[in-house]
């Protein structure tokens, strides 16, 4: 049995990509080394926010299948790598999953095959790390096989932009590789944008998220001094956003989360430091500001309790929303985790509620969601809105709380503390 594409890694990137390709008529196999993921998918069960069980059933009806057997790669005319690239301790991207996936593909490489890396990484990875592995068997990239990088642009929870209508950047190691990869993605994606090369495509993804990282850090730092100066930053941003050109609104918060914003800019910083010998100062300063926000929120919580003649130690603090983004269950790099750790370290009793997270896994063990939200809000010494899920009637919750701290700027009551 042949396949148009085998997608390696059935997570937040690979599975939506597989869905779109399958629904557009391509024969798709999802390869994953986790047997439980494979079994779940083949049984019609989704394990990510953006796809429901019905979505998986529709994929299966369109011919999709999942496998933990790497021999399926021998069937594919195209293989796409969508595996995690977390940060290692030295700040470099951990390419263990990428090199493992590429080595697996190389064992099944055949003439004419297209290999695409979608996992975010530092500029040069596709050409310097992936290409040599593929060429070990004697085939030449650009002649015998084709290799490209295409940055994933998955935005979990975004109901407007998905895989098909988000423009797809594609950069090949050679012009022939770019042409081949572009033709492949054009089969199921509306707009494909060829890059000059794989390094440009790799760097484009890092620029996108570095831009956001730095601008979020800007408003996070402004939130601190605007609070001290008695200025409503949320109103300031609304006012600035009335300008129809030259301004894009970014908003402060308790920190940044997800795989992209807190991690991707560090790949670029790492590349500059290791290859050029000097720092990427904007990124490093932005990282310092954004990573300090959970501690800042914890200190503000302490100040709010002091104003109520209460000590942080021994106070009951309820956190509302512990995911990194609203209306999803994804907790990767959520700032709620370090916030909870600071509060507990300083003596507070911390509980939480999140409609999407029945059990919250903290570093020192799991925490069960409060059973009765209304009772928990009324009984807590301080309620902190960490993530503004649509399921929350924030104004009503703030009205019932003894004290309420809004880190998302969504409340309008003058009696509420806002970041």
Is 226 annotated as catalytic? no
CA 415, distance to chain mean position in Å, is 34
Kindly compute the dihedral angle of the four CA atoms of residues 221, 224, 227, 228, in this order, to the nearest 10 degrees. -120
Q: List 257's β-bridge partners, or say none.
A: none
CA distance 29 to 33: 13
Residues 6+ apart with CB under 8 A from 317: 301, 343, 348, 349, 350, 351, 380, 381, 382, 383, 384
- The residues annotated with a catalytic role in the active site are 260
């Amino acid at each position: 049995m042949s396949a148009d594409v085998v997608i390696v890694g059935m997570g937040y990137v690979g599975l939506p990509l597989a869905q779109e390709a399958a629904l557009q008529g391509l024969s798709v196999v999802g390869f994953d080394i986790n047997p439980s993921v494979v079994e779940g998918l083949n049984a019609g069960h989704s394990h990510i926010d953006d796809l429901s069980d019905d979505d998986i059933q529709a994929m299966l009806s369109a011919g999709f299948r999942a496998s933990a057997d790497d021999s399926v790669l021998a069937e594919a005319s195209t293989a796409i790598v969508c595996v995690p690239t977390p940060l290692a301790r030295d700040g470099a991207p951990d390419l263990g999953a990428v090199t493992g996936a590429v080595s697996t593909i190389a064992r099944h490489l055949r003439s004419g095959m297209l290999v695409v890396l979608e996992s975010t990484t530092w500029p040069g990875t596709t050409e310097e790390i992936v290409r040599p592995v593929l060429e070990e068997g004697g085939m030449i990239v650009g002649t015998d096989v084709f290799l490209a990088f295409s940055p994933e642009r998955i935005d979990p929870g975004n109901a407007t932009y998905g895989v098909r209508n988000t423009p797809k950047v594609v950069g090949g190691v050679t012009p022939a590789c770019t042409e081949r990869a572009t033709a492949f993605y054009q089969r199921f994606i509306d707009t494909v944008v060829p890059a000059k090369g794989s390094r440009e495509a790799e760097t484009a993804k890092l620029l996108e998220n570095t831009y956001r990282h730095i601008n979020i850090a800007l408003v996070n730092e402004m939130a601190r001094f605007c609070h001290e100066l008695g200025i409503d930053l949320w109103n300031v941003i609304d006012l600035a956003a009335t300008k129809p050109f030259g301004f894009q609104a970014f908003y402060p918060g308790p920190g940044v989360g997800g795989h992209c914003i807190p991690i991707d800019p560090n790949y670029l910083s790492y590349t500059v430091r290791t290859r050029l010998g000097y720092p990427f100062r904007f990124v490093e300063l932005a990282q310092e500001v954004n990573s300090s926000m959970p501690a800042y929120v914890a200190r503000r919580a302490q100040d709010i309790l002091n104003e109520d003649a209460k000590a942080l130690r021994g106070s009951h603090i309820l956190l509302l929303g512990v995911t990194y983004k609203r209306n999803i269950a994804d907790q990767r790099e959520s700032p709620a985790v370090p916030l909870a750790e600071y509060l507990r370290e300083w003596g507070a009793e911390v509980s939480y509620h999140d409609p999407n997270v029945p059990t919250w896994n903290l570093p020192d063990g799991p925490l069960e969601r409060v059973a009765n939200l209304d009772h928990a809000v009324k009984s807590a010494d301080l309620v902190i809105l960490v993530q503004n899920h649509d399921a929350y009637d924030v104004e009503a919750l703030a009205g019932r709380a003894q004290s309420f701290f809004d880190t998302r700027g969504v409340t309008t009551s003058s009696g509420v503390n806002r970041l």
